[in-house]
């Protein structure tokens, strides 16, 4: 057993999982607490990645990355809020179908826009010099950038935890996951809450998109690729369960990465196999919300 | 409850007639595109047996569509089978497969059910696209061997229309039957069905088998009219597109999926020959329809026609009691 | 008199919350048992246990002398159990007549027929049943368009379509005004008499309860407080306290 390879795969898988978590956590809250399903969430991730790549190409791997981390997620959040207010609000009254249609149309349109703005070539950029090497740990060489990804994600997760447990908005969101009906009954401005959560979700996806850039090729297939994985994470982790989605994302990321050592066609099949198996035994995912579908 | 009579079948036959006359008005090079629309419309209609009639949001219809297409392609290209024999084989495989898929995915409800169907479809997609030796991998397979009578564009076009009409009539009959009514009841209120002596899951499984078989039928037709297959047919992108056709056209209307298919594909076909930005326009069209006709374009058209009729014969009662999908919109 | 329904030691908990706590009772032929109690007393959960919608943690339910074990609801219907729901549980996109037809079709096993015409199937029986409950003139109205009171009545008709031998009614007059409630109750009483069907019903309206029930069972916090004749229950001090001094 090649421990070096194994550890590299586990690290890569964990870093993947961290990204999946960032993308999926916002989506699971949006869906679980507010009943908003947005198929175009993956598009936010992809657009953020392209924008981040552009920043890095313009200002270099160090400054560019920092600039991107500051601007891009905020821009993504703003963009998402605008879309929510103009396109999603009119369709909330028709259950979920309107949202599915609108977001499907957005996926098509945004992908095309990405192609027009950023071109069809996949983009690869180098990580910042400080993080492009390796770290020695217990006889294993671990890629510094991957560790960087973990650090950033951990910070974001911490912030998310504070938001959910300390702020009023956060507590409302958590309560709504357990009882979606309650929000309207308590007199909360549900409309504003939806816009806010959509913005937060896009912010998280934006961060994920930017830090994903130095890791691999940014291409036009990312939107579809990541949304499928995000749904798998939500299903396995449980609807509305942020920490469930963290666990699920890590499991998926590591399983996906490690399986490539043993299986030729590992990767995506493993994700879906895990999804099917988990759902067979627990149809509501890791977290069972009592009395809910 | 649905009715099976000339009045209900007429729109379907009318549409079929329009498609039959198309070769006379459009250029030869556009004919395969029109045929493609017919087949996709049929597949979307078969999906609506699950979505509109039974309330099951399946995101895995591509699995059965691709199954039909691939079995015919593999059968005729690799194993020298005849088109009919390969078709029969595809259906024979579909039957147990649809039951298995139903048993797995019906463990969950609503959108989770849909995501499970999507996952199963993706597993098939990945399997097919990675197995170059067996399935031609990402490149797919070309050169489906067709019987002599199916060897030209025109014949393929009429073949597709005939299958569409037959499948449509079968669906209409099914929806007008006690079984069809029960599917609607399961959609409306499964608990009530349970308290009246029916096991809702059995009906959902039956619906999935029906939808799967019909989806495979149109996959078989696709293989014949396209002459080639590629793994994307099985992917969730195809499934999502079929679902969008249903949603766009209106899931509560029998011809809704067909309307959705026409809107999506005609837009795409017209644009693809003129620019590379078809997706953008199609996306905008979909968004616009979603915002202005959230229940689908079809039901809105129906309302318009009913309104027109009212003006001519004021004695008619406007209350649309029941829709074709076994209940009321 | 033979025991039509016998519940023994039923217990059901959801996590730390015990909804039904050791409930036992018997329903005999010809009886009309009213189950009353404050909100959250576990009445609907009890019904779910009786019909098989939920499985008890402990205890047993016997229908017509035979244990039903963990039989699913649709199997219990075949044994003669009928149920109506507290929140109108009709099929909203179907007309009143079609609603009853669906019930009839399920009872007669015709639901797997893919060839007959659904609109014609058992149409006369459905119309007759609707006439019996007084909804004949509304048979072609979509269920979602019916008034609340009519929906409750349709709920009753649909429950009767399976020709049950024991009827469980969960707050049949919920949301009805005084006059409507009285009509509904008269209807139920007539049907129970003409079909000689035992009935178990959950109710909040005390007038309804005491004008109709042959026996009253009081459920508080998942436990049976008292089970006996209406007049006895009415005068019981503990029952009065349970209702916080309400004049019952």
State how far the Cα of A151 lies from the Cα of A135, in Å rounded to an integer.
14
CA–CA distance from A90 to each of A99, A108, A202 (Å)?
9, 20, 20
Q: Which residues in chain A have Cβ-Cβ distances shorter than 8 Å to B236?
A: 228
Indicate if the pLDDT at residue A280 is higher than 80: no
C105, B182 Cβ separation under 8 angstroms: yes
Percent of chain C residues past pLDDT 70, beyond the cut: 96
How many residue contacts between B and C have a Cβ separation below 8 Å?
127
Residue B47 has a pLDDT of 97
Residue B325 located in a structural domain? no
Average pLDDT over residues C84-111: 89
pLDDT tens per residue, range C20-72:
888 999 998 888 899 988 877 788 889 889 988 888 999 999 988 888 888 88
pLDDT tens per residue, range A36-71:
899 999 999 999 999 999 988 888 888 888 889 999
Contact A108 B282 (CB under 8 A): yes
Residue A290 has a pLDDT of 33
Residue B317 has a pLDDT of 36
Residue A265 has a pLDDT of 61
The top-scoring range by mean pLDDT among A164-173, B40-49, B273-282, C109-118 is B40-49
pLDDT tens per residue, range B137-167:
888 888 888 888 888 889 999 999 999 999 9
State how far the Cα of A251 lies from the Cα of A18, in Å rounded to an integer.
10
Q: How many domains does chain B have?
A: 1
A235, A71 Cβ separation under 8 angstroms: no
Percent of chain A residues past pLDDT 90, beyond the cut: 30
Tokens of B89: 């084989």
> CA C108 from chain center: how many Å?
21
List chain C domain ranges.
Answer: 1-80+164-248, 85-162
Query: What's phi and psi for B79, nearest 5 deg?
Result: -115, 10
Tokens of B9: 């079948």
Residues paired with residue C223 on neighbouring β-strands, in sequence order: C220
Contact A291 C15 (CB under 8 A): no
3-state helix, strand, coil in chain C (%, to 5): 40, 25, 35
A153, A22 Cβ separation under 8 angstroms: yes
Q: Which residue of A has its CA nearest to B287?
A: A102
Residue B319 has a pLDDT of 38
Higher pLDDT: C158 or C211? It is C158
User: Tell me, what DSSP letter sits at residue B53?
Assistant: I
Percent of chain B residues past pLDDT 90, beyond the cut: 56
Contacts of B22 (CB under 8 A, 6+ apart): B31, B34, B157
Q: Which residue of A has its CA nearest to C14?
A: A290
Burial of B85 from C-beta contacts in 10 A (0-12 / 13-18 / 19+): middle
Indicate if the pLDDT at residue A12 is higher than 60: yes
Higher pLDDT: C193 or A49? It is A49
pLDDT tens per residue, range B42-63:
999 999 999 999 999 999 999 9
For residue A41, the tally of other CB atoms under 10 A from its CB is 29
Indicate if the pLDDT at residue A6 is higher than 60: yes
State how far the Cα of B7 lies from the Cα of B1, in Å rounded to an integer.
14
Q: What ipTM did this prediction achieve? A: 0.86
Residue B195 located in a structural domain? yes
Residue C182 has a pLDDT of 81
CA distance C102 to chain B (A): 7
Q: Which of B87-101, B125-139, B302-316, C41-55 has the lowest mean pLDDT?
A: B302-316
What is the longest distance spanned by two Cα atoms in chain C? Answer: 61
Q: Which of A94-103, A221-230, C173-182 has the lowest mean pLDDT?
A: C173-182
Indicate which CATH number applies to the domain containing B103. Answer: 1.10.3470
Q: How confident is the model at residue A266 (pLDDT cuts 50, 70, 90)?
A: low
**A111 → closest Cβ in B118, B279, B285:** B279
Compute, in degrees rounded to 10, the torsion defined by CA atoms B163, B165, B166, B169.
150
Percent of chain A residues past pLDDT 70, beyond the cut: 94
Average pLDDT over residues B301-307: 82
Residue B327 located in a structural domain? no
Q: How confident is the model at residue A284 (pLDDT cuts 50, 70, 90)?
A: low
Radius of gyration of chain A (CA): 19
Higher pLDDT: C89 or B156? It is B156
C98, C158 Cβ separation under 8 angstroms: no
Indicate if the pLDDT at residue A258 is higher than 80: yes
CATH of C1-80+164-248, one of 3.40.470.10, 3.40.50.720, 3.40.50.300, 3.40.50.2300: 3.40.50.300
Radius of gyration of chain C (CA): 18
Q: Which of A188-197, A275-284, B174-183 has the lowest mean pLDDT?
A: A275-284
Output the average pLDDT for chain A. Answer: 85
Query: What's phi and psi for B13, nearest 5 deg?
Result: -65, -35
Indicate if the pLDDT at residue C246 is higher than 70: no
CA distance B211 to chain C (A): 15
B295: containing domain: 6-312
Beta-strand relationship, C199-202 and C32-36: parallel
State how far the Cα of C188 lies from the Cα of C82, in Å rounded to an integer.
13
Beta-strand relationship, C81-84 and C66-67: unpaired
Interface of B with A (CB under 8 A): 104, 107-112, 115-116, 118-120, 122-123, 126-127, 130-131, 236-237, 240, 243-244, 247-248, 251, 277-280, 282-287, 289-291, 294-295
Contact C83 B195 (CB under 8 A): yes
Output the average pLDDT for chain B. Answer: 88
Q: How confident is the model at residue B311 (pLDDT cuts 50, 70, 90)?
A: low
Indicate if the pLDDT at residue C104 is higher than 50: yes
Output the average pLDDT for chain C. Answer: 85
State how far the Cα of B324 lies from the Cα of C19, in Å rounded to an integer.
43
Interface of A with C (CB under 8 A): 290-291
Q: Which of B229-243, B246-260, C164-178 has the lowest mean pLDDT?
A: C164-178
């Amino acid at each position: 057993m090649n421990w070096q390879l194994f550890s590299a795969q586990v690290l890569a898988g964990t870093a993947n999982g961290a990204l999946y978590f960032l993308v999926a956590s916002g989506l699971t809250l949006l869906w679980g607490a507010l009943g908003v399903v947005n198929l175009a969430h993956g598009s936010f991730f992809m657009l953020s990645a392209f924008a981040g790549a552009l920043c890095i190409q313009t200002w270099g791997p160090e400054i560019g990355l920092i600039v991107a981390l500051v601007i891009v997620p905020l821009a993504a959040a703003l963009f998402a809020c605008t879309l929510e207010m103009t396109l999603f609000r009119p369709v909330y009254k028709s259950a979920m179908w309107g949202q599915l249609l609108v977001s499907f149309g957005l996926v098509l349109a945004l992908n095309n826009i990405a192609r027009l703005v950023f071109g069809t070539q996949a983009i690869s950029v180098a990580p910042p010099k400080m993080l492009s090497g390796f770290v020695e740990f217990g006889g294993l060489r671990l890629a510094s950038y991957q560790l960087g990804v973990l650090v950033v994600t951990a910070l974001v997760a911490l912030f998310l935890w504070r938001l959910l447990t300390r702020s009023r908005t956060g507590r409302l969101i958590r309560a709504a996951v357990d009882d979606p009906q309650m929000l309207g009954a308590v007199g909360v401005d549900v409309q504003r809450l939806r816009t806010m959560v959509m913005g937060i979700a896009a912010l998280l996806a934006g961060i994920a998109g930017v830090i994903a850039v130095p890791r691999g090729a940014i291409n036009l297939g990312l939107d579809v690729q990541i949304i499928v994985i995000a749904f798998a994470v939500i299903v396995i982790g449980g609807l509305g369960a942020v920490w469930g989605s963290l666990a699920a994302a890590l499991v998926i990321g590591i399983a996906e990465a490690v399986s490539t050592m043993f299986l030729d066609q590992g990767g995506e099949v493993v994700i879906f196999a895990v999804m099917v198996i988990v759902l067979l035994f627990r149809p509501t995912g890791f977290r069972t919300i009592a009395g809910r579908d | 409850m649905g009715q099976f009579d000339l009045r209900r079948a007429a729109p379907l036959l009318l549409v079929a007639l329009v498609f039959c006359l198309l070769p006379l008005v459009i250029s030869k090079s556009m004919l395969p595109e029109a045929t493609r629309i017919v087949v996709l419309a049929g597949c979307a209609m078969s999906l609506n047996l699950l979505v509109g009639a039974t309330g099951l949001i399946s995101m895995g219809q591509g699995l059965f569509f691709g199954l039909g297409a691939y079995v015919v392609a593999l059968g005729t290209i690799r194993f020298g089978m005849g088109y009919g024999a390969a078709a029969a084989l595809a259906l024979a495989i579909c039957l147990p497969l649809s039951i298995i898929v139903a048993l797995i995915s019906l463990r969950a409800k609503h959108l989770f059910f849909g995501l499970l169907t999507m996952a199963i479809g993706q597993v098939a997609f990945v399997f097919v696209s990675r197995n170059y030796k067996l399935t031609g991998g990402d490149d797919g397979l070309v050169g489906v061997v067709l019987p002599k009578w199916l060897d030209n564009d025109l014949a393929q076009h009429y073949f597709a229309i005939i299958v569409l009409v037959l499948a449509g009539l079968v669906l209409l009959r099914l929806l007008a039957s006690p079984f069809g009514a029960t599917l609607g009841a399961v959609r409306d209120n499964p608990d009530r069905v349970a308290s009246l002596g029916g096991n809702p899951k059995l009906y959902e499984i039956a619906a999935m088998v029906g939808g799967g078989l019909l989806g495979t039928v149109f996959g078989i037709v696709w293989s014949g009219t396209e002459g080639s297959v590629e793994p994307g047919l099985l992917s969730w992108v195809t499934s999502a597109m079929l679902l969008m056709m249903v949603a766009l056209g209106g899931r509560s209307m029998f011809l809704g999926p067909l309307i959705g298919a026409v809107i999506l594909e005609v837009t795409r076909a017209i644009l693809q020959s003129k620019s590379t930005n078809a997706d953008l326009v199609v996306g905008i069209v979909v968004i616009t329809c979603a915002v202005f006709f959230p229940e689908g374009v079809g039901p809105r058209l129906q309302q318009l026609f009913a309104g027109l009729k009212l003006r001519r014969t004021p004695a008619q009662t406007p209350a649309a009691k029941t829709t074709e999908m076994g209940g009321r919109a | 008199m033979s025991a039509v329904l016998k519940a023994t030691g039923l217990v059901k908990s959801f996590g730390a919350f015990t909804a039904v706590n050791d409930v036992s009772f018997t329903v005999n032929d010809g009886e009309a048992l009213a189950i009353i109690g404050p909100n959250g007393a576990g009445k609907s959960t009890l019904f779910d246990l009786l019909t098989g919608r939920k499985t008890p943690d402990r205890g047993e339910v016997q229908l017509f002398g035979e244990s039903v074990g963990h039989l699913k609801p649709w199997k219990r219907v075949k044994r003669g159990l009928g149920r109506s729901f507290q929140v109108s549980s009709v099929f909203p996109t179907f007309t009143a007549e079609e609603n009853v037809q669906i019930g009839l079709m399920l009872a007669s096993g015709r639901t797997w027929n893919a060839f007959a015409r659904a609109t014609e199937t058992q149409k006369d029986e459905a119309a007759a049943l609707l006439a019996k409950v007084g909804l004949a003139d509304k048979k072609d109205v979509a269920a979602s368009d019916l008034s609340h009171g009519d929906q409750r009545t349709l709920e009753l008709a649909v429950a009767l379509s399976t020709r049950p031998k024991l009827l469980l009614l969960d707050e049949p007059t919920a949301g009805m005004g005084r006059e409507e409630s009285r009509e509904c109750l008269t209807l139920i009483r007539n049907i129970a008499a003409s079909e000689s069907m035992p009935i178990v019903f959950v109710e909040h309206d005390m007038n309804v309860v005491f004008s109709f029930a042959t026996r009253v069972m009081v459920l508080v916090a998942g436990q049976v407080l008292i089970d006996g004749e209406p007049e006895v229950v009415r005068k019981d001090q503990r029952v009065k306290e349970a209702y916080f001094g309400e004049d019952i």
